[in-house]
Amino acid sequence: MEKTITIRLDAEQNEALTRRARTVGKSRSALVREILAKALSDETVSERAGHLKGTVPLQKPKSAWGKHLKEQNWR
């Protein structure tokens, strides 16, 4: 690493960072570097989330109320 920075976290952020680092099995520093790299990348949202693009298959409503809701909210 070439540069060291210091940031101040409130207690809630500190706990959340520690929990996430433990969950993914990384050090807090490694996790912060990864988060910064993603946040500072030049990729557009569509490039980052493009793999999520698609449709959700919906089941046909079984009740009259469900049919009514679908008719009112369908585009």
In what helix (H) or strand (E) does residue 28 lie, and over which residues does it extend?
Answer: helix 28-40
pLDDT tens-digit readout, 49-64: 888 777 777 777 678 8
- Whole-number Å distance between alpha carbons of 72 and 75: 9
pLDDT of residue 63: 84
pLDDT of residue 68: 82
- Does the pTM surpass 0.85? The reply is no
pLDDT tens-digit readout, 8-46: 999 999 999 999 999 999 999 999 999 999 889 888 888
- The dihedral of CA 26, 22, 24, 5: what is its sign? negative
- 69 close to 61: Cβ distance less than 8 angstroms: yes
pLDDT of residue 74: 66
Tokens of 4: 């060291």
Angle at 43 between CA 1 and CA 41, to 5 degrees: 20
